[in-house]
Amino acid sequence: MPEAAFAAQLPPSGHLLVALGAVAALLALAALGVASAHRPAGRPLIYGGALAVTLVAGLSALTAIAAPAAGMVLPLGIPWIGTHLRLDALSAVFLAVINLGGAAASLYGLGYGRHDHAPERVLPFFPAFLAGMNMVLLADDAYSFLLSWEFMSLASWALVVAHDKEAGNVRAGLVYILMASFGTLALMLAFGLLAAGSGGGYAFDAMREAPPVGAFAALVLTLAMLGAGSKAGLVPLHVWLPLAHPAAPSHVSALMSGVMTKVAVYGFIRIVFDLSGPPDWWWGIPVLAAGGIAAVIGVLQALLQGDTKRVLAYSTIENIGLIFIGLGLALAFSANGFPAAAALALTAALFHVLNHAAMKSLLFFGAGAVLTATGTRQMDELGGLIHRMPATAVVMLIGCAAISALPPLNGFASEWLVFQAVLLSPDLPAWGLKLMVPAVGALMALAAALAAACFVRLYGVAFLGRPRSPMAAGAQEVDAFSRAAMIALAATCVLAGLLPGFVIDALQPAVGGLVGETMPAQGSVAWLSIIPVAESRSSYNGLLVFAFTALSALLAAVAIHRFASRAVRRAPPWDCGFPNASPLAQYSAASFAQPIRRVFARGLFAAREKVEMPPPGALTPARFSSSARDPAWAFLFLPLTAAVGYVAERANTLQYLTIRQYLGLVFSALVLLLLVLALWT
C-alpha cells in the first residue's frame, strides 16, 4: 500500500471500538450457539446476549452519527492491504437501524424461539447474521466489504433453510443463494471498476480519490443497482424475497426483510453517492424508474397473496421502491445543482429506511405471533384474532396504519417528505427529469393507496370478523417477550411519527456528508412542526394531527353515546333470512382483493378466476379458484433457466468426447491463444 493511504488514515474512536467489540461479541455468541444449542439454557443465553450486544452497539451508533468520522486498519485479510474500517455518519445511521432492529428481534426471539423444534439450526446463525451485517457497515475496503456481504448472505441463507423439512423452503434457499451470489458478483465487478480508476487500490479512500468517469461511471451505477438491488428486492430481482422471507423463522424474517434490505440500501448509497464521485444529470432516471416499478409491482403482488408473511415480503419490495425513489430524487437534484432539494430527498429516503425497519419488523413479529398462536400463515384460516390476542391486535393495527402511511404515524412522515421532494421537480432543468419525476410521483401515490388497501385487507381478514378455523378460534395471546418487542417497535413508530423533526435533525450529518448540504434544522421550529422547504410551501405537525384525530374521535364517541343511546345492546345483525351464517361466508382475502385484482392484475400478472359450478342436482360444492403469476418469473427467470438448461444439454456432449478429441480441444485452445498473441501484439 502507498504510504499516503496510511498518512490520511482517520483516527479511531470509542464508537468504532464499541462497534468492533460488538462484532467480536456476536461472533463469540455464534460459536457459543454451536456449543449450547441443545441445552435449555442456550436460547436465553444466545438471544439475551445478542439483545445486550445489539442494544449497546445501537445506542453507541446513535451517538456516533453526530461524531466525527473514525477509521482504523487492522492487520487482517489480504497481506499489505489489511482490513480498513471506518465509522462515519452514514454507517452510524445504518448501524443504529440494524442494531436496534437486531435488538428487537433478539427480544422477540427470547419468547418466539421457545417454539423452535430445531434450535441448533437457528441459534448459531442468528448472531453470526447480525455480526455480518455490522461488518458490512464498518468495512472501508472492497475486500472486507465483499467478504462481510457474503458472510451476511450465507448466514441468512442458513437461517432460510433452517426448517428444511417444510415444503418449499429448500427451493427458497436455492433461489436466494443464487440471487445473492449474482448480487455479490455484480458488486465485485463494480468494485473492480472503481479500483481500476484508482490504480488498483482496494481501500475506499483510494476509490474516492479517483472516481470513475463516463461509461465506467454508468457501468458502476448499473452494477450497483444490480448488486444492491438483488439484495434489497428491486424488480425484477425480487423473486427470492417472497420465497425466502416466509421460509425463515419469524424473527429472522423480520431481520431479513426489515434490516438486511437496509444493508443493501447502504451498499447502494455507499457506492453511488460516496465512491462514484459527482453524479451525472441522468443518474437519477434509472434509479427513479426502478423504484417506481418496484413500488407498484410490489404492492400489487402483495394484494394477490393469501399468506401473511408473503404479503409482508412483497410489501417490503414496495417500500424498497419508495426508498429508491428518494435516492433517485436525491441523485437527480444533486447532479443538477439543487443540493438543498437533494438533502430533502436523501433525508426522506433515510427516514423511510428507519421507518420501514421498525414497521416491517413489527409486522413480521405480529405475523409470527399469529403463526405461533394459530399454526397457520394463511389469511383465510384466520379471523377474529382481536378478541383472542388483544395486545398483538393493537400493535399490529399501529404497524398496519404506519405502513399504509396514515398520519400521524412515521410512515406518513417519511412518504410525505418524499412527496415534498417530488413537488420540487419543476425546478429541474432537464426535460427528461421534469417529465419523469411527476410520473414516478403518480406511481408512488398509486402504491401508497394500494398499500392502504393491502393492509386493510391483511388486518381486516386476520384480526376482525369471526374465526374461520378452529385454530383461530382457540388462539392464545403470545408470551411477554414477544409482546414487549412488538410494543417497543410500535412505540418507535408512534414516536417517530409524532416527532419527525428530531429524527430529521439526527439524520443531517449523514445527509450533509453525501450531498454537501443539509436540511434546515427542524428541532427549533415552533410547536414541533416540520418545514422541509419553506413555510409558505408546506409544513406538517404530527402532534397536531394526532391531537385532532384523537379529539375528534373522542368527541364523536362521546356524542354518539351521549345523544344516541347509552346502553350497549347485543343483537344479531340482519342476516338476509339466513341465520347462523358460516364464518366462511365472510369476506376472504381473495374476495377482498377481487376488484383490484380485476382492474390491475389481469394483464401483467395474468390473474385469472375460475368458478366451477356443479350441475343442478349434484351434491358437490361450487369451487372458486384464482391464480396469478409473477411477471419476473414468466418473462425473465423461466426463459433464463430454460436457456441455461438448453446450453447445458448441448454442452453435455462434451462429456462424451474421445481422448484424442479432448487433447484436440486443449491443442486448439493453445493454438488459438497463440494466434491471438501473434496477431494482436
Partner 1 sequence: MIEHAITPNLVFDVAHMFAGALVLISFLMLYQDRLYALLNVFALQAVALALAVAWQAYAQDAPHLYVTAGIALVFKALVIPVALHRMVARLGIHRQVETAVSIGPTMLAGIALVALSMVVMLKATPAADALAREDLAFALSVVLLGLLMMVTRRNAVSQVVGFMSLENGLILAATGAKGMPLVVEISVAFSVLIAFIVIGIFLFRIRERFDTVDVDALDRFRGGRA
Which residues have C-beta within 8 Å of that of residue 13, sequence separation ≥ 6? 64, 67, 68, 70, 87
- In degrees, rounded to 5, the angle at the alpha carbon of residue 171 between the alpha carbons of residues 167 and 176 is 135
Helix (H, G, I), strand (E, B) or coil at 238: coil
Question: Given the complex with partner 1, which of 558 and 670 has the nearer CB atom?
Answer: 670
- Which of 26-34, 276-284, 552-560, 663-671 is the region at the interface with partner 1 (rule: CB under 8 A)? 663-671
- Which of 264-272, 374-382, 505-513, 673-681 is the region at the interface with partner 1 (rule: CB under 8 A)? 673-681
Q: How far is the CB of 664 from partner 1 (least distance, A)?
A: 5
Helix (H, G, I), strand (E, B) or coil at 134: helix
Question: Given the complex with partner 1, which of 74 and 666 has the nearer CB atom?
Answer: 666
- Which of 114-122, 456-464, 600-608, 667-675 is the region at the interface with partner 1 (rule: CB under 8 A)? 667-675
Q: How far is the CB of 316 from partner 1 (least distance, A)?
A: 51
* Contact characters 6-45, partner 1, x per CB under 8 A: ----------------------------------------
* 663 makes contact with partner 1 (CB under 8 A): yes
Phi and psi angles of residue 255, each rounded to the nearest 5 degrees, phi first: -65, -45
Contact 343, 419 (CB under 8 A): no
Q: How far is the CB of 673 from partner 1 (least distance, A)?
A: 9
Question: Given the complex with partner 1, which of 634 and 670 has the nearer CB atom?
Answer: 670
- Which of 230-238, 552-560, 616-624, 670-678 is the region at the interface with partner 1 (rule: CB under 8 A)? 670-678
Q: How far is the CB of 666 from partner 1 (least distance, A)?
A: 8
Question: Given the complex with partner 1, which of 442 and 657 has the nearer CB atom?
Answer: 657
* 669 makes contact with partner 1 (CB under 8 A): no
Question: Given the complex with partner 1, which of 646 and 662 has the nearer CB atom?
Answer: 662
Give which of 609, 573, 640, 576 is closest to 179, Cα–Cα. Answer: 640
Question: Given the complex with partner 1, which of 76 and 670 has the nearer CB atom?
Answer: 670
Give which of 409, 415, 481, 381 is closest to 114, Cα–Cα. Answer: 481
Strand partners, 612: 623
Helix (H, G, I), strand (E, B) or coil at 62: helix
- Which of 44-52, 249-257, 470-478, 662-670 is the region at the interface with partner 1 (rule: CB under 8 A)? 662-670
Which residues have C-beta within 8 Å of that of residue 645, sequence separation ≥ 6? none
Strand partners, 378: 307
Which set of grid coordinates corresponds to residue 210? 479517483
Question: Given the complex with partner 1, which of 35 and 663 has the nearer CB atom?
Answer: 663
Strand partners, 610: 625
Task: Give me the count of residues in the chain.
Answer: 681
- Which of 69-77, 156-164, 636-644, 665-673 is the region at the interface with partner 1 (rule: CB under 8 A)? 665-673
* 660 makes contact with partner 1 (CB under 8 A): yes
How far is Cα 525 from Cα 519, in angstroms, rounded to an integer?
13
**Cis peptide preceding 520, ω within 30 of 0:** no
Element (H, E) at 608: strand 608-612
Question: Given the complex with partner 1, which of 569 and 660 has the nearer CB atom?
Answer: 660
Give which of 263, 241, 376, 244 is closest to 316, Cα–Cα. Answer: 241
Contact 380, 461 (CB under 8 A): yes
Strand partners, 530: 540
Among 31, 213, 442, 670, binds partner 1 (CB under 8 A): 670
Q: Among positive and negative, which fits the CA dihedral 527, 530, 536, 538? A: negative
Strand partners, 627: 608
Question: Given the complex with partner 1, which of 547 and 663 has the nearer CB atom?
Answer: 663
CA–centroid distance for 563 within its chain:
48
- Which of 216-224, 398-406, 610-618, 661-669 is the region at the interface with partner 1 (rule: CB under 8 A)? 661-669
Contact 463, 374 (CB under 8 A): no
Question: Given the complex with partner 1, which of 578 and 680 has the nearer CB atom?
Answer: 680
Element (H, E) at 326: helix 308-335
Q: How far is the CB of 198 from partner 1 (least distance, A)?
A: 30
How far is Cα 84 from Cα 208, in angstroms, rounded to an integer?
14
How far is Cα 257 from Cα 312, in angstroms, rounded to an integer?
8
Which set of grid coordinates corresponds to residue 335? 447532479
- Which of 335-343, 371-379, 553-561, 664-672 is the region at the interface with partner 1 (rule: CB under 8 A)? 664-672
Q: How far is the CB of 678 from partner 1 (least distance, A)?
A: 4
* 435 makes contact with partner 1 (CB under 8 A): no
Q: CB-based burial of residue 142 (10 Å sphere; 0-12 exposed, 13-18 middle, 19+ buried)?
A: buried
Question: Given the complex with partner 1, which of 41 and 679 has the nearer CB atom?
Answer: 679
Question: Given the complex with partner 1, which of 34 and 657 has the nearer CB atom?
Answer: 657
- Which of 187-195, 359-367, 507-515, 659-667 is the region at the interface with partner 1 (rule: CB under 8 A)? 659-667
Question: Given the complex with partner 1, which of 431 and 656 has the nearer CB atom?
Answer: 656
- Interaction residues for partner 1, span 628-657 (CB under 8 A): 656-657
Q: By rule CB under 8 A, what count of residues binds partner 1?
A: 16
- Which of 185-193, 244-252, 478-486, 658-666 is the region at the interface with partner 1 (rule: CB under 8 A)? 658-666
| Angle, helix 14-36 to helix 42-64, in steps of 10 degrees | 170
Q: How far is the CB of 651 from partner 1 (least distance, A)?
A: 15
* 659 makes contact with partner 1 (CB under 8 A): yes
Phi and psi angles of residue 570, each rounded to the nearest 5 degrees, phi first: -110, 125
Binding site for partner 1 (CB under 8 A): 656-660, 663-664, 666-667, 670-671, 674-675, 677-678, 681
